[in-house]
Structure 1
Amino acid sequence: MENPIQISAADAGGPYYPLRNHDDVSVSDDSRLNQLGYKQELSRSLSAIANFSVTFSIVSILTGLTTTYGTGLRYGGPLTIIYGWPIVGVFTLIVGLSMAEICSAYPTSGGLYFWSAKLCGKHWGPFASWLTGWFNIVGQWAVTTSVDYSLAQLIQVIVLLSTGGKNGGGYEASKYVVIAIHGGILLVHAILNSLPISWLSLFGQLAAAWNLIGVLVLMVLIPTVAKEKASTEFVFTYFNTDNGEGINGKAYIFVLGLLMSQYTLTGYDASAHMTEETKNADMNGPKGIISSIGISIVFGWVFLLGITFAVTDIPYLLSDDNDAGGYVIAEIFYLAFKSRYGNGVGGIICLGVVGVAIFFCGMSSMTSNSRMVYAFSRDGAMPLSSFWHKVNKQEVPINAVWLSSFIAFCMALTSLGSLVAFDAMVSIATIGLYIAYALPIFFRVTLARKSFIPGPFNLGRYGILIGWVAVLWVAIISVLFSLPVAYPITEQTLNYTPVAVGGLLILTVSSWIFSARHWFIGPITNIDS
């Protein structure tokens, strides 16, 4: 380790919070960071709006809902989509509230793994930090991989529709072309993330505005343009049991359809990872978490409502033989304009709006991802740690940015061998990441129930109750989303989520037992004196 003081930063932080005033916010933030064991290395220039914008663009309604709408339509259809979203939204907000409370107490870029170390104390802290950190960082890599790969797929679909569609002999890109597009997107995102944080702040706010305006425009435009519209009864009451996957039982079908909502409502830990670059971090970090979830819930439900009114033929939309090659949202947009104007050019333009949102989502995802790499390597938890946490003259963790880009590309390479393997890997983006969310909350309501000292933002006497509900929800979805999604179960239909998440757990625990327990002591202070 290159750190001159080998003491745990998790033990350095005390309950003291400096008094704030309008002229001394940055000094107060820096003082609190020093108390937690770290010196200020990143540029602290993000406002509350900027912090929220980065996180909101990662949650990105347009990204999550457009790429997984077919899942909701297949498993339950309109009823699952319209009612499942607010159900998942409420429980996600509960998880977010618990995270926000802990974030206020410990506003560091390390986020979840630092929280676990602090909440578990000297004995269990290092292992808890190791486990949480690796689930968090691998989950973030999976998110970046998934988002940028989905953009590559959307670009391929836009080209397909622009050249006549599948049924008109349009151009269908091979998997090698898709992976090349994916690599190009990652390259652009790495270059953008090499810019000063002030530029990323501007892009983040533009991304947030793009998502909000895009949702409002598309939810009104698509059903308005479509000649044939679904009835109100269909949108609010129709339950699709014909999923073509051999799944029976309405409750079973309904919970499988919830994956659409839960996949979308993730990534809000970004506000915590950006706290060392955020002013008034112990309040604005928590606000970023909560506001990004709350606004996403409202705008997401409005978007789903509008789009579902344009759904009239579920079997055709779910078919791989439609013009968009099975990409449900693309086909809905394309058919809406084609039915009115005789061509789907307007639908293709609308897909471009979605594509820009996904681009911003991937960019912000890499921002958050790189900050986690920076913090985790700063504490010596990664191979070649001293290299990955280097900060350049613009106060950007440049090596962490390019590492995140490279790993996201490598993870996507599994798609060349098997889409089943790729899907299993990116499943960590939902379940693996939520396990990382739940671990510090679990430690807060158990081991640190009496010792936890809250920051300026806290849940008061309801903190324990809300925390337990959050942990219970993560446990439930971890089981539900590991269930088979098709019968009979074969190599191609098996849900590999438990294999991927279980494999990550085995690797993390094994590396701890055989190696890390001998040298990793948790977060390490980098203050010289």
Structure 2
Amino acid sequence: MGSVELPVADDRDRARLQQLGYKQELKRGLSVLSNFAFSFSLISVLSGITTTYNTGLRYGGPVSMTLGWLVVAAFNGCVALSMAEICSAYPTSGGLYYWSAKLAGKDWASLASWVTGWFNIVAQWTGTASVDFALAQLIQVIVLLGTGGATGGGYMASKYVVLAIYAAILVLHGLINSLPIERLSWLGKLGVFWNTAGVFVLVVLIPSVAKERASVQFIFTHFNTENGMGIRDRVYIFAMGLLMSQYSLLGYDTSAHMTEETKKADRSGPMGIVTSVALASVFGWLYLVALTSVVTDIPYLLDPGNDAGGYAIAQALYTTFHRRYGSGAGGLVCLGFVAVAVFICGSTNVTSDSRMAYAFSRDGALPFSHAWHRVNKHEVPLNAVWFSVTIAFLIALPSLGSQVAFQAMVSVATTGLYIAYVLPILFRVTTARRSFVPGPFHLGRYSVVAGWVALLTVLFSLPVAYPVAEANFNYTPVAVGGVLLLTVAAWLLHARFWFQGPVANVVVDGG
């Protein structure tokens, strides 16, 4: 990619971006609040907790969720702090892969950037697929319960109908993300309001409506070992149950990917990361406790033969309102409220995906890169938006032939993103420990400590059942291992001859 001479910009953000090697192509129209809003809306605890509650309930139950959430939040906080510090030093849309290139050292920069970037973008695409597919499933359950439930002749959509709903959602998200960034920022702010208001309303409403509530002891100490999957080891079960918490607190790298569209990016980006994680951790735990307070019969809630077809939280809310008022309509309203939060979350996912694809292709890492880093007259990477939507649709196609496809998408998104998160942190506390020059946001003497704690957050990919069979096989190790294998193979056979990592498209003076 050729270099072009640009005059020194008066704008501090533009000048800093030029120092990092890039010209300003995206419109810088986001405030610190807007930057935070994108990450908070993408984390969306209403979305993550509700759609993966079955996993936490099955593996360990209440204790693996309510106490497990606190464990994950503590470690996740260290990841967020470490990422915020690096984001402050390198506020670019490339985010994680750019950071790895700068921190890994000259000899390893290109390979580190290549591996981190591919893990990041594949996990983001899979994350979008998991969120929007979860929304399609949630809509299907709402329709099922609204038409009488599985035991009352309600409409049970086929897997083809669910896939069609999923495709429609993706198209809507593509259209929304074709809008200028100023309009997109309003959706992010709506996501903040919706998730915040939703948590407060549901935390008060759900326990107050319930005629039968779980005891405090049950909520915080009951351990469910009856997972129906043949797993009996309690430590193993607890680790599996943490997937819900891990998945529900992911997505704050969005603040980094939006920095080239954010004012005072070296401060606003880090603040977006830290505040979104902190607030999501608190709100998520409150929501989780409120939901678990109406869980009184775990086997029934997980039973595929119940009215909600085994969708635990949908059944719990429907039953709670039906017992109180003789109708489950209130429960459907609650699920509808959650569905809006999931929709906003999915749209924000596509925003983050497109910015990552734009940045990665700007450095020539994606096939047909010349197409994906173009911006339209509104300074929106339109091609990258629809490219990301298309990839997300293709990722969900295996759902037609596998009952565990959604679980695999959740696991791949979680594991892949955590790997991408911790790779630059690893380089920060090892090869770049003394050479790293922090930005305005820094941790001082606690930087290295937070970094090493952050590295402990990556857990192994575990099979979801024992003995392993075709019907319940967890494809996560295969998928994550496949990404690693293909990425390294592509590097050795092809990319090492031409991929240089982040490529400056301006003349860097002293950068």
Picking from 29, 46, 49, the partner of 1:65 is: 49
Q: Specify the SS of the correspondent of 1:122.
A: coil
Q: Specify the SS of the correspondent of 2:404.
A: helix
Q: Report whether the alignment pairs 1:512 with 2:491.
A: yes
Alignment-derived partner of residue 168 in structure 2: 184
CA distance in 2, matches of 1:260, 1:421: 16
Alignment-derived partner of residue 265 in structure 2: 281
Q: Report whether the alignment pairs 1:39 with 2:37.
A: no
1:231-267 per-residue CA deviation (whole Å, 9 max, x = no partner) reads 2222222222222222112222211111110011111
CA distance in 1, matches of 2:457, 2:372: 34
Q: Report whether the alignment pairs 1:143 with 2:143.
A: no
- Going from structure 1 to structure 2, the CA distance change for 1:162 and 1:421 (only over 3 Å counts) comes to closer
Q: Report whether the alignment pairs 1:410 with 2:394.
A: yes
Q: 1:81 offset after TM fit, Å?
A: 1.5
- On the 8 A contact 1:158/1:348 being kept in 2, the answer is yes
Picking from 242, 256, 263, the partner of 2:247 is: 263
CA distance in 2, matches of 1:85, 1:247: 21
Q: Report whether the alignment pairs 1:353 with 2:353.
A: no
CA distance in 2, matches of 1:386, 1:136: 20
1:412-438 per-residue CA deviation (whole Å, 9 max, x = no partner) reads 111112233554344220001110001
1:433-491 per-residue CA deviation (whole Å, 9 max, x = no partner) reads 110001100111111111111111011111111111111222xx1x1xx2222222212
Picking from 186, 190, 207, the partner of 1:206 is: 190
CA distance in 2, matches of 1:222, 1:322: 20
Q: 1:406 offset after TM fit, Å?
A: 0.5
- Per the normalisation by structure 1, the TM-score is 0.93
CA distance in 1, matches of 2:408, 2:399: 10
Q: 1:305 offset after TM fit, Å?
A: 1.1
Q: Report whether the alignment pairs 1:503 with 2:487.
A: no
Q: How does 1:273-422 map to 2 (within 5 A)?
A: 273-421=257-405
Alignment-derived partner of residue 11 in structure 1: none
Alignment-derived partner of residue 12 in structure 1: none
Q: Report whether the alignment pairs 1:95 with 2:82.
A: no
Q: Specify the SS of the correspondent of 2:105.
A: helix
Q: Report whether the alignment pairs 1:254 with 2:252.
A: no
- On the 8 A contact 2:144/2:156 being kept in 1, the answer is yes
Q: Specify the SS of the correspondent of 1:340.
A: helix
CA distance in 2, matches of 1:381, 1:255: 35
- Per the normalisation by structure 2, the TM-score is 0.97
CA distance in 2, matches of 1:428, 1:283: 31
Alignment-derived partner of residue 525 in structure 1: 504
Alignment-derived partner of residue 464 in structure 2: 485
Picking from 428, 442, 450, the partner of 2:426 is: 442
CA distance in 1, matches of 2:209, 2:64: 25
CA distance in 1, matches of 2:214, 2:451: 40
CA distance in 1, matches of 2:286, 2:409: 31
Provide the aligned C-alpha RMSD in A.
1.6
Q: Report whether the alignment pairs 1:461 with 2:445.
A: yes
- On the 8 A contact 1:223/1:336 being kept in 2, the answer is no
- Which ranges in structure 2 are unaligned for 5 or more consecutive residues? none
1:63-92 per-residue CA deviation (whole Å, 9 max, x = no partner) reads 100011111111121122111111100100
- On the 8 A contact 1:61/1:264 being kept in 2, the answer is yes
1:91-129 per-residue CA deviation (whole Å, 9 max, x = no partner) reads 001011111110000000000000011112332111110
Give the AA of the match of 1:236: F
1:345-388 per-residue CA deviation (whole Å, 9 max, x = no partner) reads 11111110000000000000100110000000011111111110
Q: Specify the SS of the correspondent of 1:154.
A: helix
- Which ranges in structure 1 are unaligned for 5 or more consecutive residues? 7-17, 19-23
Q: Specify the SS of the correspondent of 1:123.
A: coil
